[in-house]
Amino acid sequence: MSLLNIGMSGLSASHASLVTTGNNISNVDTVGYSRQQTVQNSKSSIQYGNVFIGTGTTLADVRRVYNSYLDAQLQTSTSLNSDAQAYLGQATQVDKLLSDSGTGVTKTLQSFFSAMQTLAGSSNDNAARQALLTNAQGLSGRFNAISQQLKQQGTYINDQLGSMADQVNKLASTVAAYNKKISEVSSSGGTPNELLDQRNETIRQLNELVGTQVTETEGRMDIYLGSGQPLVVGDTVNKLRVAADPADPTRSSVIMDRNGSSIDITNVMSGGEMGGLLRYRNDVLTPAVNGLGRIAMVVADQVNKQLGQGLDQSGNFGAALFNDINSAAAISQRSIANANNDPASGNLNVSIKDTSKLAASDYQVTFTSATGYSVRRLSDNTNMGSFDLGATPAPVIDGFSLSLNAGAVNSGDSFKITPTRSSAADMATVMTDVKRLATSAPLTSTKAQGNTGTGDASQPTLKTSLDIYDPTQRLEVQNAVKASMPVRMLMTSASAYEVFDAKGVSIGTGNIVPGQNNDLSISVPYTDASGAAKTFSVGMTVSGSPKAGDSFNIAMTAADSTDNRNAQALLALQSKATVGATATSPGVSFSEAYGGLVSTVGSLTKQGQLDATATDTIVTGARNARDSLSGVDLDEEAGNLTKYQQYYTASSQIIKTAQEIFSTLINAL
Amino acid sequence: MRISTAQYYATTAANYQRNLNNVMKTAEQASSGIKLETAADDPVGAARLLQLEQQKALLGQYTTNINALNTAQAQEESVLGSINTVLQKVSELTVRAGAASLNDDDRKSIGAEVAQAEQQLLSLMNSKDANGNYIFSGASNNTPPFARNSDGTYSYQGDQTQLELKIGDSMSLGLNDTGWEVFQQAINAARSTTTLTAPAVDDGRVALSSGLVSSGPAFDASFRGGEPYTLSFTSSTQFVITDASGNDVTAEATGAGKFDPNNKDGSDITFRGVSFALDITFQASDTPATVDAVIAGHSFKLEAKPDSFVSTRAPGNASTALVTQTQVTDAAAYNSFFPEGGAVLKFTSPTTFELYARPLTSSSTPVTTGSVAGGVATAAGVSFTLSTTPAPAANDQFDISVNTHQTQNVLDTVSQLRQALEMPTAGNPAAQRNLDSAIASSIANLGNAKNQVDLARGAIGARGNVMDMQRDQNQSTDLINTSTQSSIREADPAEVLTRLTMQQTMLQAAQLAFAKVSQLSLFNKL
């Protein structure tokens, strides 16, 4: 029974509490710190006869005020918020790029058609022709520029994934080291508060990079990614690395190495900055690249096609203004062979047959035999069916068809088909001679001098279209038209007519109804190179009441003509539905398609903004909840300081009293 | 609920940052006036804006076109006005020239004035616009529309294409009127002809003019159907007309075939839309007893003028061979493939030739080929009689132009009038009759030409009306477009400034609160 000992125990307990309070105060700004409290227990009492007298106090524990549930909330909300912020940061850039009138395509496209309209009013004006050519170069240059920016975004994502994977590895090793240390210290009894706090903080930082699931077993924290791939188990770490996707080398994918084998976790990863970037790449960047590419391809195709149907200033059929979308180089670059294919297998050529049916998507083609293959559309995971390489005509899937490039392929090979990915980057203006801009229509009709009736014939149109991607057919029909003209339609009576070719041979007869608009289709025969008999057809509308003996001549439009019918047809492309035709809808025009692209990216960005605001609120709430429990409040600690100071003073009084008792006892003797 | 110190500062800083962000954004909206900077601000609105911008661009194109059309029409209108004035003057000269009191010299001086008018007309019809393009050539703007041939006739070298420009979503208007429509299609009043078939030698007693079409519809409907007609005199007061199949159609003529031979001014016979002037001149030896005998037996063939050809030797020909006569020998072949607009006859050797459509270029292919038989080259149903000496050499070319006589260019009318006025008629009744019929047909054809010009001016006026209506519609659509765009894109200044004031107040309140609360610390009191 020693008052001194009791005083000493109180003193040391108060001292420890003061030190803990001081520790809390100095750690007020430490990230992830949980405030610590001392827990005191009274010492066991000693029995004197039938009374128990206490022996003082002892420090039972310095515990940290901590709730693992709140901590887990903070971690998951951190990963959500990082995901949303990374997604928003990237999406905003694409949104600005596409919708800004200085960088977007809309103004350049409008300026191109405006120059075309000026040309339609004065087809022989060299300045107007040059202006159109310059505008075409501006248009293709704009597509190139935007596509370049989008490509840089893709490269940026690959680079970021690489550096983030390194960071993840570092943080994961740190967590594993903490796991080891904590289990060593815990096994010898005691709770290492700082280590626990620091481990939690490291896991939170990890969540900023990638979404994790954390389970606590026996004091160690195991971290799992995605759909259960273990990143840290106890003190072992499975490292992440970034490599080129075997199906598509332009994209990086994230790979986890585990016990000598590798798993590709790109598609199951979510959350954190990495998850946000991957989500952005799938949902915004790839559709934007494909959508832009599709528009560029349709513009080049439709303008070239229409120019090919008309005559230029020299009286020859028109040349192409933009690059050929089915050139040998272009068709061989649209298919990417999987890195795991049979090394002896060749690659595929992808020819675009109908630009209006293109969907802005990539495709997965898998061979089930040497010639049979199945196609899956990747944007919405639709199975497009099974086809065969040997079928003629080649099957057209969503506007493109496949053929072998060089060597044969083997069963099991797979290819990624990207029909529209590089079209915007490849778009170029190839015409240099403005004389070759075909603004005139090929055929012109004239009424004969001696006509006595009131019949009138509209300007004729060549109804057989020239296929600019089939040089044989194109040359054949061009030569046939040139050689067959002029053609004469002679009225043999007021309602019957006969058609004669240039040599006076009758090539057909027909009837009209006088006084009405008669849409006629005249078939002109010719023989092709192999001697087969073919025809091309010419459309003309005859109205009024011609008399017997009246005739109408159809001839090739002369060189240097200011006829502007082909220019008008090119202008009609502004409103013609040329993009995205499906079974249920006829499609939309160029500018509407671009508007749809801008609007889609805008909506995704807007959604990203809302997500970022929402997750920001959630993470702030989670942080507040955790801080409210575990955070240090200086006022509270100030109160504690005062409290423990008093307890210390009171305990020191006990010692003073004990000392006085002793000296009283000594002095009495 | 506990508030930890770190949490307090972090929350305050975050709130302040958010308020500041809002103020900055509102300030930017206030200074730029735009609330939709990127598509994310309003995705649906952004898509709508792009559609509206597309519509505005189209409206801009239509306005450009309307302006171009206005300029072109104004110029054409003024040229047509000048041409009309010249035609008025020529008509007055023609009427004056028909007066019986004039002599050859008077007529010659009128002819000189007509020649001036002819040149003026040619230069007006070949007018160019501000860019140096011919306005009446159709689509061949670099070729002058009217050219004078070596024999004094004029031919149209342009085409019949009317260029169109769009002035509205579903509205296109013609930019030009071709010379073909305005000048070449004037109906020819003198498209009938009479030929004396019996007796073989003209004895000067009976003269029948070529005829003037007085009623176009009647001519096209009934005269053409039964030609060629034979008009034969049965006595000095009676004639009979039979059509091609031999039917007697005399009842359709004036007076049913009876006429008065002693009428001083001659008789006018109107038959199926054509008016012929009949003049009987008795010779001194004719007595009232013999008049019937001498007049009976005269017969004439009446028909529409057949197509006539002008074959011109090209100046660079190696030989001086000429085409002396050209006529249609196979009507079916001629109708079916003789080149419209003229042909070129090219000799590959003195006896073989090729026929091409005009113009002959390096890439032309021959319409037909053949060889000379008996000094006659026959191609596409037309026979060309060649001069025997000298024979044509290889690479000789002859330009063949066709006149169907259905229509007549006003330049040809004026030219023919001038030639008629320059011909002396003193004491030559036949020449006097030719002059009379020339003046009559000139007056009729000048009237037809003026009609065509008036039609063209009326069309220009109608187009102008349509353009004005369309322009008004375009303008109102543009206004609606602009206001819709600004309602989507632009910020309402009142709302923005109110918001800015409120946010500024919130920012100030946050600053004040922070200043006050951060001073409260227990450590300050101990």
Rounded to the nearest angstrom, the minimum Cα separation between A589 and chain B is 11
Instruction: Please give the Cα distance from A154 to A147 (Å, whole number).
Output: 11
- CB-based burial of residue A540 (10 Å sphere; 0-12 exposed, 13-18 middle, 19+ buried)? buried
Look at residue B524 in the predicted model and tell me its pLDDT: 84
At B90 the pLDDT is 94
Tokens at residue A546, please?
Answer: 């011609």
Q: What is the pLDDT of residue A86?
A: 96
B60 neighbourhood in chain A, CB within 8 Å:
114
pLDDT of B52 higher than 70: yes
Percent helix / strand / coil, chain A, rounded to 5 = 45, 25, 30
- Test B161 with A561 for CB contact under 8 angstroms: yes
Q: What are phi and psi of A43, to 5 degrees?
A: -75, 165
**pLDDT tier at A232 (50, 70, 90 boundaries)?**
very high
pLDDT given for residue A92 in this prediction: 94
Task: Give chain A positions within 8 Å (CB) of B474.
Answer: none
Closest to A633 (Cβ–Cβ): which among B3, B44, B337? B3
**Using the beta-carbon criterion (under 8 Å), do B40 and A445 form an inter-chain contact?**
no
What are the chain A neighbours of B340 within 8 Å (beta carbons)?
446, 448-449, 486, 488, 551, 553
Spatial contact of A116 and A568, defined as CB atoms under 8 Å apart: no
As a whole number, mean pLDDT of residues A591-595 equals 91
How many angstroms separate the Cα of B302 from the Cα of each of B191, B223, B224, B229, B438? 11, 10, 10, 5, 18
B413 CB contacts (<8 Å, ≥6 apart)? B186, B441, B442, B445, B446, B449
Determine contact, residues B27/B500, Cβ cutoff 8 Å. Answer: yes
B303 neighbors B193 (Cβ within 8 angstroms):
yes
Query: What whole-number distance in Å separates Cα of residue A643 and Cα of residue A645?
Result: 5
Q: Residue A241 — pLDDT band, cuts 50, 70, 90?
A: very high
| β-strand pairing of B368-371 with B352-357 | antiparallel
Which pLDDT value is given to residue B103? 84
How many CB atoms lie under 10 A from the CB of residue A362? Answer: 23
pLDDT of amino acid B424: 86
What is the rounded average pLDDT of the residues B498-502?
95
Test A628 with B160 for CB contact under 8 angstroms.
no
Say yes or no to pLDDT of B132 above 80: yes
**CA A489, CA A297: separation in Å to the nearest integer?**
41
Which residues in chain A have their CB less than 8 angstroms from residue B481's CB? none
The mean per-residue pLDDT over the stretch A614-639 comes to 93
Best B8, B61, B183, B524 member to test A by mutation, with max A CBs in 10 Å, is: B61
Specify whether the CB–CB gap between A211 and A231 falls below 8 A.
no
Confidence band of A419 (pLDDT split at 50, 70, 90): very high
How confident is residue A158, by pLDDT bands cut at 50, 70 and 90?
A: very high
pLDDT in tens, A320-350: 999 999 999 999 999 999 988 888 888 999 9
HSE toward the beta carbon, residue A616, CA cutoff 13 A: 13
> In this predicted model, what pLDDT tens digit does every residue of A368-407 receive, in sequence order?
988 899 999 999 999 999 999 888 888 999 999 999 988 8
What is d(CA B445, CA B435) in angstroms, rounded to the nearest whole number? 15
Mean confidence (pLDDT) of chain B? 88
In angstroms, the CA A605 to CA A608 distance is 5
pLDDT of residue A111: 94
Q: What is d(CA B207, CA B430) in angstroms, rounded to the nearest whole number? A: 8
How far is the C-alpha of B307 from the C-alpha of A452, rounded, in Å? 13
In this prediction, residue B431 carries a pLDDT of 83
Residue B160: list chain A partners with CB under 8 A: 444-447
B324-328 CB contacts, 8 Å cutoff, 24+ apart: B324/B385, B324/B386, B324/B387, B325/B384, B325/B385, B326/B382, B326/B383, B326/B384, B326/B385, B326/B400, B327/B382, B327/B383, B328/B381, B328/B382, B328/B383
Which residue type is seen at A244? A
pTM for the whole structure = 0.88
Residue B361 pLDDT more than 80? Answer: no
The pLDDT of residue A169: 95
pLDDT at res. A112: 95
Residues A355 and A349: beta-carbon distance below 8 Å: no
- Say if residue A16's pLDDT is above 60: yes
pLDDT in tens, A525-583: 998 888 889 999 999 999 999 988 899 999 999 888 889 999 999 999 999 999 988 88
pLDDT on residue B399:
86
Look at A167 and B391; give whichever has higher pLDDT. Answer: A167
CB contact under 8 A, A634 and B526: no
Minimum distance, in Å, between the CA of residue A100 and any CA atom of chain B: 7
The pLDDT tens digits of the residues spanning B444-482 come to: 999 999 999 999 999 999 999 999 999 999 999 999 999
**Could A452 and B335 be called an inter-chain contact, meaning their C-beta atoms sit closer than 8 Å?**
no
Q: What is the mean pLDDT of residues A584-609?
A: 92
Per-residue DSSP letter, B39: G
Pair B467, B167: CB distance under 8 Å:
yes
Exposed, middle or buried by CB within 10 Å (0-12, 13-18, 19+), for A516?
exposed
Report which of A412, A323, A342, A315 is spatially closest to residue A372, judged by C-alpha positions: A412
Kindly state the tokens that stand for A553: 């001549």
